[in-house]
């Protein structure tokens, strides 16, 4: 019962504030001690990736393939930067950083997003 209710709440909250649910998923998993920080970071990252692909697919379906292709071509450096940053972050989280730093960085990210949501 906990998982469906939590998933519904995350989806509802994400829809209200207009950001992905991954930022809400990580702290919930940390608070419930679902797994260690590395696994939670990996799970939240996969969740964000799947949601992003679904969102991009929805935008392509809404705007048409021609407009979507033009946008991909126009923003290819952004895609490259996201891919590179994701690889660096994955390496740091899995090999280089101690678990306490992963928790701290996750907390800083959540705090940043919370401030941005309240500020705007």
Backbone angles phi, psi at 97, to 5 degrees: -90, 140
* Residues in the chain, total: 120
What are the sequence ranges of the domains in the chain? 2-119
Rounded Cα distance between 115 and 112, Å, is 5
Contact 119, 111 (CB under 8 A): no
Would you say the C-alpha torsion 49, 54, 58, 61 has a positive or negative sign?
A: positive
Q: Per-residue pLDDT for 34 more than 80? A: yes
pTM (predicted TM-score) = 0.65
Q: What is the pLDDT of residues 71-114, one digit of tens each?
A: 778 878 888 898 898 888 888 887 888 888 888 887 888 788 77
- Count the neighbouring beta carbons within 10 Å of the beta carbon of residue 18: 8
């Amino acid at each position: 019962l906990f998982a469906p209710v939590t998933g519904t709440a995350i989806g509802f909250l994400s829809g209200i504030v207009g950001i992905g649910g991954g930022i809400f998923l990580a702290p919930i998993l940390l608070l419930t001690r679902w797994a260690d920080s590395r696994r939670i970071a990996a799970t939240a990252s996969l969740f964000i990736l799947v949601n992003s692909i679904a969102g991009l697919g929805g935008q392509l379906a809404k705007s048409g393939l021609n407009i979507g292709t033009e946008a991909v071509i126009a923003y290819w450096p952004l895609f490259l930067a996201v891919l590179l940053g994701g690889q660096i972050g994955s390496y740091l989280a899995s090999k280089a950083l101690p678990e306490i730093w992963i928790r701290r960085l996750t907390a800083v990210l959540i705090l940043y997003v919370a401030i941005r949501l309240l500020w705007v």
